[in-house]
Amino acid sequence: MKVHFKGKSAEYEIEKSHFCAHAFVVKDKINERDGVNFITSNVDFLEFSDEHFSFDEIIKFLETSSDENTIIVDEFFEKDERNLKEKDLNSQKNHSNQNEDFPCNEEEKLCNKQEKFQLTSAEYFSRIFCKNLFVKYTKEFEKNKSFELSNVEKLEFFKDLEESEQELCFVKIEILNYDDSCDSISFNLELFPSGVSYKYGIYKNILRIILLGKMQNSELFAFLRSFIYKSKDKIIGEKIFTLTLNQNPFYKLKIKFIA
The string of pLDDT tens digits covering residues 157-216 is: 999 888 888 788 889 999 999 999 989 999 999 999 998 999 999 988 999 999 988 898
Q: Is the pLDDT of residue 77 over 50?
A: no
pTM: 0.55
pLDDT digits (tens, 9 = 90+) for 37-68: 888 889 999 999 888 888 888 887 777 755 66
Which residues make beta-bridge pairs with 149?
Answer: 257
Q: Quick check: 167 and 35 in contact, CB under 8 A? A: yes
Q: How far apart are the first and last CA of the chain?
A: 57
140 or 101, higher pLDDT: 140
Separate counts of helices (H) and strands (E) for the chain: 4, 16
Closest CA to 184 of 155, 212, 204: 155
Backbone phi, psi, residue 27, to 5°: -115, 125
Pairing of the two strands 45-47 and 52-54: antiparallel
d(CA 238, CA 236): 7
Local structure of 161: helix, strand or coil: coil
Residue-level pLDDT at 97: 52
Beta-bridge partners for 37:
26
Minimal CA–CA distance to 120: which of 98, 74, 95, 87? 87
Residues 118-137, mean pLDDT to the nearest whole number: 55
Q: What are phi and psi of 216, to 5 degrees?
A: -80, 140
pLDDT digits (tens, 9 = 90+) for 4-13: 999 988 888 8
Rounded CA separation 247/41 (Å):
18
User: Does residue 44 contact residue 34 with C-beta atoms inside 8 Å?
Assistant: no
Do residues 227 and 118 lie in contact, with contact meaning Cβ atoms separated by under 8 Å? no
- Rounded Cα distance, 220 and 194, in Å: 9
Q: What is the pLDDT of residue 102?
A: 47
Q: Tell me, what's the pLDDT at 23?
A: 86
pLDDT reported for residue 17? 78
| 139 has pLDDT over 80 | no
Angle at 137 between CA 135 and CA 142, to 5 degrees: 110
